[in-house]
């Protein structure tokens, strides 16, 4: 199966100048102006075509997220003022009631599923490495798996912030392998032993949205650590439906980072609508938009840094739009790099260097070399940027690809029905994994102390997984964990 190691996208668009939007002057559809529709038209004009809606969504989601997720608050305020500075009676007539809760529930649960979908494959590859071998590769995979669990918990924080109960432990919340991530991707994710193929899949999962990154300069090599109308006729003409919003994602989103960009735009859209419902006017700056609105959740349900016992990354509680920004910055930075670099945060924040983003950590394992300390001059342009596909060429990272159990890819409990011992072991593993998810579920429902149990369950999972993977299933393959919902 071909593995796509990187998905490239067009360069980010710059912030448009005021007055360059089609319909920016009160939805003037007759004006012969090229370019995307205005933000008010995109949100509130039920008369626009779906094609214009899609192009407007592409443009404004990219513009808005590029500003807010990169802390460009002043530029965002200018952008918002240019869009909402001239409100018209026609705009207010176009406002419709949109029930954001079921839409955000679906889209945020999908984000949880995306994060969840990475954890079993990473743990499977990690547990398949035989003890005493591949120490550096094991540390890299373990660090990423722990951070993916952190991401899942932080998405739960976002759901609780908008007063929607997250769910992580029900049968419908379980990934089924092999699977495609719920985006426009061309590769499958599965449960496989540690190998060049499984690491190539992990590289594809973590692919950055930007085709260029800043070349690393350090020579230190570190070990990774609703508005007015409620008529059915108006509702039917609204393009802001779950079907359309998910359809846009399935056609236009190719990476996890891009998913979070579009999801952030959707959240901001509903916050803008909620602001109008509350104030009768459209927000003019970030300060007006930040608090209230859809953020009606109980702060007591937030998982906070002192309650999370994992290592790697920072856990952010969410009580306003600024908290969503912090969460999505953390998730995107850890996955694909922050500020166009290979690091998961700005390396200047650390005295002893910074950790690489997931994509680049996995490339180090795949190419058996570290990034830091290498010579990247041949790959760099005049601005010090290099393609994300540039392989690491620093200090060697020894990998023994043969020091892993020959586990059958994507095993199922049905494979063990003829072997009572393996069946019992597989069932026990799945129950332990369910116990881990139950602990997380209890925590995000308001009982944060339950999260303490997760450490115990993680240790038990490793032992049970090795117990499976060390036993032959057939002449060529060993058994392995299935990560299926336990059945009696």
Both 301 and 214 in one domain: the answer is yes
Q: Is residue 10 part of a domain?
A: no
Residue 94 lies in a domain: no
In a domain, 456, yes or no: yes
Q: By residue range, what is the domain housing residue 331?
A: 101-247+297-404
Same domain, 338 and 463: no
Question: Do residues 440 and 480 both lie within one domain?
Answer: yes
Cβ pair 444, 160 in contact under 8 A: yes
Are 219 and 368 members of one domain?
Answer: yes
> Residues 190, 307: one domain?
yes
Residue 95 in this model has a pLDDT that exceeds 50: yes
pLDDT band for 236, please (50, 70, 90 cuts).
very low
- Residue 162 reports pLDDT greater than 60: yes
Quote the pLDDT of residue 101. 93
Name the least confident of 95-104, 150-159, 412-421: 95-104
**CA 397 centroid distance within chain:** 28
Decide if 67 contacts 79 (C-beta within 8 A): yes
Considering 359, 382, 404, which residue would you say is the last residue of a domain?
Answer: 404
- Tell me phi and psi for residue 385, to 5 degrees: -100, 150
Q: Does the residue 69 lie in any domain?
A: no
Which positions ≥6 away from 214 have C-beta within 8 Å?
339, 340, 341, 342, 384, 385, 386
Q: How far apart are CA 39 and CA 315, in angstroms?
A: 32
Residue 59 is assigned to a structural domain of this protein: no
Assigned domain for 41 exists: no
Q: Which one of 404, 437, 469 terminates a domain?
A: 404
For residues 483 and 471, give the distance between their C-alpha atoms in angstroms, rounded to a whole number. 17
Q: Is residue 395 assigned to a domain?
A: yes
214 three-state secondary structure = strand
Residue 15's pLDDT band, with cuts at 50, 70 and 90, is: very low
Claim to verify: residue 180 and residue 240 sit in the same structural domain: yes
Taking residue 476's Cβ as centre, other Cβ atoms within 10 Å add up to 8
| Residue range 293-321: mean pLDDT, rounded | 88
**pLDDT tens-digit series, residues 397-451:** 999 999 999 999 999 999 999 999 999 999 999 999 999 999 999 999 999 999 9
pLDDT in tens, 241-273: 999 999 999 999 999 999 999 999 999 999 999
Structure token digits, residue 303 = 């998982």
Residue 22, SS3 per DSSP: strand
Both 337 and 309 in one domain: the answer is yes
- Residue ending a domain, among 385, 404, 423, is 404
Total domains in the chain come to: 2
CB of 256 closer than 8 Å to CB of 335: yes
- Check whether residue 393 and residue 413 sit in a common domain: no
Same-domain status, 167 and 238: yes
154 and 115 together in one domain: yes
Q: Does residue 53 belong to any structural domain of this protein?
A: no
pLDDT band at 215 (very low <50, low <70, confident <90, very high): confident
Indicate if 376 and 436 belong to the same structural domain. no
Q: What is the pTM of this model?
A: 0.88
pLDDT(461) > 90: yes
């Amino acid at each position: 199966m071909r593995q796509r190691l990187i998905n490239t996208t067009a360069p980010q668009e710059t912030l448009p100048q005021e007055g360059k939007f089609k319909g920016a002057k009160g939805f003037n559809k007759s004006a012969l102006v090229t370019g995307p529709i205005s933000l008010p038209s995109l949100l509130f004009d039920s008369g626009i075509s779906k094609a214009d809606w899609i192009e407007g969504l592409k443009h404004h989601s990219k513009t808005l997220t590029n500003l807010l997720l990169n802390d460009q608050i002043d530029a965002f305020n200018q952008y918002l003022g240019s869009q909402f500075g001239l409100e018209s009676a026609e705009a207010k007539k176009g406002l419709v009631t949109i029930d954001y809760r079921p839409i955000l529930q679906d889209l945020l649960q999908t984000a949880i599923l995306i994060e969840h979908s990475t954890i079993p494959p990473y743990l499977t590859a990690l547990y398949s490495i035989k003890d005493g071998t591949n120490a550096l590769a094991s540390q890299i995979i373990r660090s990423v798996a722990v951070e993916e669990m952190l991401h899942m918990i932080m998405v739960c924080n976002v759901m609780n912030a908008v007063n929607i109960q997250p769910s992580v432990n029900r049968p419908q919340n379980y990934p089924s392998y092999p699977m495609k991530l719920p985006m426009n991707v061309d590769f499958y994710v599965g449960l496989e032993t540690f190998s060049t193929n499984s690491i190539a899949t992990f590289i594809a999962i973590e692919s950055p949205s930007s085709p260029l990154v800043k070349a690393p300069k350090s020579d230190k090599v570190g070990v990774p650590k609703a508005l007015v109308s409620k008529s059915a006729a108006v509702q039917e003409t609204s393009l802001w439906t779950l079907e359309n919003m998910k359809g846009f994602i399935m056609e236009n989103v190719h990476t996890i980072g891009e998913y979070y960009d579009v999801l952030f735009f959707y959240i901001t859209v509903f916050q803008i609508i909620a602001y109008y419902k509350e104030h009768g006017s459209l927000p003019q700056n970030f300060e007006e938009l930040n608090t209230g609105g859809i953020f009606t959740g109980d702060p007591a349900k937030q998982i906070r840094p002192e309650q999370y016992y994992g290592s790697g990354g920072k856990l952010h509680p969410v009580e306003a739009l600024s908290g969503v920004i912090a969460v999505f910055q953390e998730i995107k930075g850890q996955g694909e790099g922050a500020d166009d670099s290979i690091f998961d945060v700005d390396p200047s924040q650390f005295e002893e260097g910074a950790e690489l983003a997931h994509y680049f950590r996995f490339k180090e394992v795949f190419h058996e070399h570290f990034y830091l300390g290498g010579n990247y001059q041949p790959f760099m342009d005049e601005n010090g940027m290099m393609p994300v596909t540039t392989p690491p060429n620093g200090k060697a990272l020894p990998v023994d690809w043969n020091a892993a159990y020959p586990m059958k890819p994507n095993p199922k409990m049905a494979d063990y029905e003829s072997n009572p011992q393996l069946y019992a072991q597989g069932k026990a593993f799945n129950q332990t994994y369910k116990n881990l998810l139950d602990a997380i579920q209890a925590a995000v429902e308001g009982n944060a102390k339950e999260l303490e149990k997760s450490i115990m369950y993680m240790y038990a999972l490793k032992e049970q997984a090795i117990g499976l993977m060390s036993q032959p299933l057939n002449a060529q393959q060993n058994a392995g964990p299935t990560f299926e919902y336990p059945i009696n």
